Amino acid sequence: MVKAAGTDHPLLVNCIVPLHMQGPLTYRWPFDTTLPERGTRLLLPLGHRRIVGICWGPAREFLDESRLKDVLKVMEEQPLIPGGLLNFIEWAASYYYYPLGPALSEALPAGFLSATRKATEQATDRGIGPGRSRFDVKAWSHGTVRKLTAEQENVLSEIAKAVTAGVFSPYLLFGITGSGKTEVYMRAVEHCLASGRNALVLVPEISMTGQIAGWFAGRFAQGLSLLHSGLTREQRRDQWWKIRSGESRIVVGARSAIFAPLQNIGLVIIDEEHDPSYKQADKFKYNARDLAVMRGRMEGATVVLGSGTPSVTSYFNALSGKYCLLEMKERAGDARLPSVEIVDRRVRSRKKRRDVKKDAGRSGARSDETPWLSSRLRHAISSTLEAGHQVLLFLNRRGFATYVFCQECGHVFKCRSCDVVLAWHRGNKALLRNVDTEKFKGPGVLCCHYCGQLYPALPACDKCSGQAVRASGFGTEKVANDFLQEFPGTTVARIDRDTVGHRKKMERILHSFRKGEIDCLIGTQMITKGHDFPNLALVGVIAPDMGLNVPEYCAAERTFQLMAQVAGRAGRSAVKGRVIIQTYMPDHYAMECATAHDYRRFYEIEIAKREALGYPPFSRLVNVRLSAAKKAAAEEAALKLADVAEKAAGNRKDIIILGPVQSPLARISSRYRYQLMIKGAMKPVRRLCSEIDRRVGSLVPSNVRVEIDVDPLNFM
């Protein structure tokens, strides 16, 4: 037994394990060697099982030797995780109040660090090294590389200077849609590689990784890796090792790529930095955009946050000097911003209703059968298709109908596990791919969009057995169905979570639309950003109002960004673009500013509202969520934590505690939900949350789940 220097005590080592616990576990070091470096994987005993943990260094305190167990095995000669990445993950786990062990486990490819028996056996048997499945990024043709515009030249020059200087330099690149940000990104990466450093490029969604990685692969033949959760376990393992070994110098990926084992980083790019998809929704609730800025700071890298509609917080940081602001106000080449017009869907008088019916009759429309289609949008679609151009329709709601109800008793069909109405999906095979189809022989399927549970679409009411069951509302599935009836002989494709569960299928649809093989593309927010369609002439925005009617302080910002981004898909070539927004709230400032392509006016209105109400960026928000199978348990725990928070806050005026209250969605997946909102200045809010985090284990029973969501974006 190796002994600690100058003592009779055994040599002890602290280990981080992938379990939800505070601090490391201590083990005896039984080998006649020095301790391995921090970041090396170890095989450890825990109870009656074995787990894979991470060596965290020698233990400073000596416990009763009889209570300690020996390390079983050292799993590699060199540390698995680079020291810089270890420090970064440790900081991220601390900032988001998430246990370090699970944070490390989620940052690594599946199976590298695990407490499950199967994963531990696989890791032990196979050791460590590249995966068996080689994965290559398919190159996309980016066309002829145009000469940079004057704006692109100026922006690139600033970024290149910062990369050469080799010190942390954060930039906000505010470039309107179509201004050529991707070309600037690629040339900046080229300069970074030439300077001997590596580059990390983040995009908000998996759907965008194939396109932007393809463009980079077309420019950089070697040394490119792709990282996102849509890869298979072996593909992700392979890509991870190419990065870890230094074979890949460019990493492109979605939010999880922020934990890529890339070293010597000189440039970090966050494309579409405003997108809420950078925020992880469950478990480790990090925001990859914010972490990218911190990683750039820790690596001494240049950080570029790019967007055509910057987040209010990032633009505030740029105007206040925290970031350097770079702007590109003109579209590249022959492209011009599309014209945008509003269709007022309000019907405020009998006379107007009669006029609407007359207009529909003159155009040959069946307005009662296509509630989402105004006569102006119908005419615009017809003329666009006749000219040989393409149409894109955006509706941020999937399914065939929004809800189903009984006209006899008024019963609305709801999920049995959630306080949510069920959406009707008709003829959607993708939803039924993993279920017993014998139970779903009726007219489609009812789906809960929160827990994913499916129910048969019954022809009769399940409460009163009445036969007057009716569907109401519409989603992307109904819009696609109606489009084929209104415009026969056309080709239509949908992109939403129901139709493109696999990344390759979405890429095939986007390729086909880009090549002109599809007349109309219909989809949710997955189609709003980053895509370039040369022959797209018309964009229709259907029912954007629902995004404004959400109980969240950033609802107007998200709605404006979605409309501006989807509008930006049109007019990106010599083809003139047109955008039609159908709304019941045409006077809302988000609608007016999107119509005028006026981000600055929107920002000025929005920032004034937030300052008056004390919302970010003028404060920090933390949402403490509690959930339990029994409502009383969740409520009691929420009241206890609220009491702790109020006592810790004392009489401070720079902290506001709101709640506890039931969440807007009070029950999800059979768990009742409460939340406690903390708002205030950064330091006192952090101290208060640290006190709550410290007291959770002693105050809250194990049957109540507590999550601390720092900088939340979803309050539902």
When computed from its CA atoms, the radius of gyration of the chain, rounded to whole angstroms, is 27
Q: How high is the pLDDT of residue 115?
A: 66
Whether 411 and 463 have beta carbons less than 8 Å apart is answered as: yes
Question: Is 3.30.365.10 the CATH classification of the domain at 12-126?
Answer: no
Find all residues with CB under 8 Å of 195, minimum gap 6, and list them. Answer: 163, 164, 166, 266
Place of tokens 């725990």: 637
What pLDDT shows up at residue 367? Answer: 42
Evaluate whether 12-126 and 150-328 have a shared fold. Answer: no
327-357 as b/e: b if 16+ CB within 10 A: ebebbbeebbbbebebbbbeeeeeeeeeeee
pTM: 0.88
Question: 600: how many CB neighbours lie within 10 A of its CB?
Answer: 10
Cβ atoms 501, 434 nearer than 8 A: no
Please report the pLDDT score of residue 678 as a whole number: 94
Fold classification of 339-398+475-612 (topology level): Rossmann fold (3.40.50)
Q: Domain segments of the chain: what residues? A: 12-126, 150-328, 339-398+475-612, 401-473, 620-710
* Strand 655-668 to 671-680 pairing: antiparallel
d(CA 649, CA 622): 14
Q: Can you list the residues of the chain whose pLDDT is less than 70?
A: 1-9, 61-66, 115-145, 207, 210, 221, 333-335, 347-369, 427-442, 500-504, 529-530, 571-574
Q: Which fold has domain 620-710?
A: Alpha-Beta Plaits (3.30.70)
Residue 651: per-residue pLDDT? 83
pLDDT tens digit sequence for 11-42: 889 999 999 888 899 999 999 888 999 999 99
d(CA 258, CA 252): 10
Query: What pLDDT is stored for residue 469 in this prediction?
Result: 82
3-class secondary-structure state, position 85: helix
Show the tokens assigned to 400: 């065939």
Look-up of token digits 């709601």? 397
Residue whose entry in the numeric block shows the structure tokens 């939900």: 673
pLDDT attached to residue 194? 94
The CATH classification number of 150-328 equals 3.40.50.300
CA distance 623 to 96: 11
Longest CA–CA span in the chain (Å) reads: 97
pLDDT value, residue 257 = 94
Tokens 């990065």 belong to 243
